[in-house]
Amino acid sequence: MTINTAREGHTYPGIDYQVSREAIMEFASAVKAGHPAHVDPEAAAGLGHPDLIAPPTFAVVIAQRAEAAVINDPGAGIDFSRVVHAEERFTHHAPITAGENLTAATTLERIRLMGAGAMVTTVTEINDGAGTPRATVTSTLLVRADAEGEQ
C-alpha cells in the first residue's frame, strides 16, 4: 500500500450529526467531566447556554465520523491498521450544545512522508445548520511502515 500524496488538499463528503443530551451525558461521564453544565440543563442555563453543553473533546465523536471517509478512501493509500494517534487539537467557536444539527467535513490537509511511513494531518470543520463554523478538529496520525519494512 503506497500513500498517495496527490490526495493532499482533498475534502471528503460531509456527514450530519444531531447532538443529543444523552450523547453529551454519556461522553461527560466517560471522560469523568463532573461539571453540571454537561448533565443539568438548569446549570447550563445559569451560564447562559440554551441547553447542555458538551465537554471540549466531544467534538472528536463528530469528527471521527467525518474522518472515516479518509480511512475508507483507497485512493489515499493509508493503511489504518498501522496508525498511531500523534496529535489532536480542538478549536471551538461556540460550545457544542444539545439539540443542535451539525455538519462535519474532513480535508486531508497534509501528508508528510517519513521513510516508509508518514505523518497524516486531517482537518475537520464542524458547522451548524446555517453553515456557521462551530469547531475545527485537527488530527495527526503517524502511519508506521509495516513489519517487513515495505517501501
Partner 1 sequence: MDQELQTHTAAPPHSAEKRAGISEAAQLQKGQTIGSRTIEFSRADLIRYAAASGDHNPIHWNERFATEVGLEGVIAHGMLTMGAAVGLAADWAGDPGRVVDYQTRFTKPVPVPDAAEGSPETPTTALEVIGTVGKVDAEANTARIDLTVELVDGEERTKVLTKVQAVVVLD
Q: Is residue 109 within the footprint of partner 1 (CB under 8 A)?
A: no
Nearer to partner 1, 4 or 103 (CB): 103
CB of 81 to partner 1, least distance (A): 9
Q: Is residue 47 within the footprint of partner 1 (CB under 8 A)?
A: yes
Q: Return the closest-CA partner of residue 120 out of 132, 104, 107, 130.
A: 107
Q: Return the closest-CA partner of residue 24 out of 14, 15, 37.
A: 37
Element housing 89 (H / E): strand 83-92
Give the count of residues interacting with partner 1 (CB under 8 A). 41
Q: How far apart are CA 95 and CA 33, in angstroms?
A: 15
Candidate list 13, 85, 149, 151; residue touching partner 1; CB under 8 A: 85
Q: Is residue 37 within the footprint of partner 1 (CB under 8 A)?
A: yes
Q: How far apart are CA 134 and CA 100, in angstroms?
A: 11
Q: Is residue 42 within the footprint of partner 1 (CB under 8 A)?
A: yes
Nearer to partner 1, 4 or 61 (CB): 61
Candidate list 14, 15, 38, 104; residue touching partner 1; CB under 8 A: 38
Residue 53 identity (one-letter amino acid): I
Residue 85 CA to its chain's centroid (Å) = 12
Burial class (CB in 10 A: 0-12, 13-18, 19+), 106: buried
User: Which region among 1-9, 70-78, 83-91, 103-111 touches partner 1 (by CB under 8 A)?
Assistant: 83-91
Q: Is residue 117 within the footprint of partner 1 (CB under 8 A)?
A: no
Q: What is the contact surface with partner 1 in residues (CB under 8 A)?
A: 23, 26-27, 29-39, 42-43, 46-47, 49, 53-57, 60-61, 64-65, 84-95, 138
